[in-house]
């Protein structure tokens, strides 16, 4: 890994970002951005952050310079990717879909430790051939997972015994969440955490050291073990470089 020497052994973690219309100072224009709680969480866990804005190509070149990858939260995955028509509440971002599916393809080929957060978990599931529930309140009958606006919800989750996610966050934890969709099917993954209403809250590939997704937002809560786990796995990449 070329990044190892430049960062004195600290693993380099790439985070996917949004391309949005944004306002700051005297400017109002398209910008590549990500809430800083993500980057601060990775830095606090011991990683060096690289932001990855949506691009048309170059996924393999980007991944070759990383020690770990985070697919972050955001807009909905295009339901055409799992053979459904869009729900009225579904809001897609095809630029992010193309970029993040490509990043996962490249990360998969080299065995890069990868964490999916919220949308990121859904991207991982759909890429594997899975499907999503497009509007979760229709199914569970409440809005606990996404109370609306810019507010986060809080829900209690239970992790599965023997799972990697349990080693990172414990058997039961209150988590911060903001999602109106959820994973229904997830080929190649095991569901390793659920909310009380049955919503899948974590998936992981049992055949890989670190290839997992969580439906909640650990960067906005107190469950920092996921970032520490990713950094530990990414440091293993450093050790082999």
Q: How far is CA 9 from CA 38, 61, 67, 224, 236, in A?
A: 21, 20, 10, 21, 11
Per the annotation, the verdict on 217 as an active-site residue is yes
Per the annotation, the verdict on 144 as an active-site residue is no
Per the annotation, the verdict on 100 as an active-site residue is no
Of the candidates 145, 178, 186, 217, the residue annotated as catalytic is 217
Q: How far is CA 5 from CA 42, 65, 231, in A?
A: 19, 12, 16
Of the candidates 118, 145, 178, 186, the residue annotated as catalytic is 118
Q: What does the alpha-carbon distance between residue 29 and residue 22 come to, in Å, rounded to a whole number?
A: 6
CB 182 within 8 A of CB 148: no
Which sequence positions are flagged as catalytic? 118, 217, 219
């Amino acid at each position: 890994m070329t990044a190892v020497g430049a960062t004195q052994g600290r693993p380099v973690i790439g985070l996917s970002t949004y391309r949005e219309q944004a306002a700051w100072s005297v400017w109002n224009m398209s910008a590549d951005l990500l809430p800083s709680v993500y980057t601060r969480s990775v830095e606090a866990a011991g990683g060096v952050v690289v932001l990855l804005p949506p691009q048309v190509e170059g996924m393999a070149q980007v991944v070759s310079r990383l020690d770990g990858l985070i697919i972050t939260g955001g807009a909905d995955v295009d339901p055409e990717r799992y053979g459904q028509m869009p729900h009225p509440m579904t809001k897609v971002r095809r630029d992010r879909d193309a970029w993040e599916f490509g990043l996962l393809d490249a990360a998969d080929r080299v065995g890069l430790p990868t964490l999916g957060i919220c949308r990121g978990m859904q991207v991982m599931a759909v890429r594997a051939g899975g499907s999503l529930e497009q509007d979760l309140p229709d199914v569970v009958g409440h809005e606990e997972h996404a109370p609306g606006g810019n507010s986060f919800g809080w829900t209690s989750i239970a992790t599965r015994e023997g799972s990697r996610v349990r080693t990172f966050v414990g058997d039961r934890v209150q988590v911060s969440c903001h999602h109106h969709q959820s994973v229904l099917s997830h080929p190649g993954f095991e569901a390793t955490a659920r909310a009380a209403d049955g919503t899948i809250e974590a998936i992981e590939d049992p055949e890989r050291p670190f290839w997992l997704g969580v439906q909640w937002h650990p960067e906005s809560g107190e469950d920092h073990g996921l970032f520490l786990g990713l950094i530990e796995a990414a440091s293993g990449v450093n050790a082999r470089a």
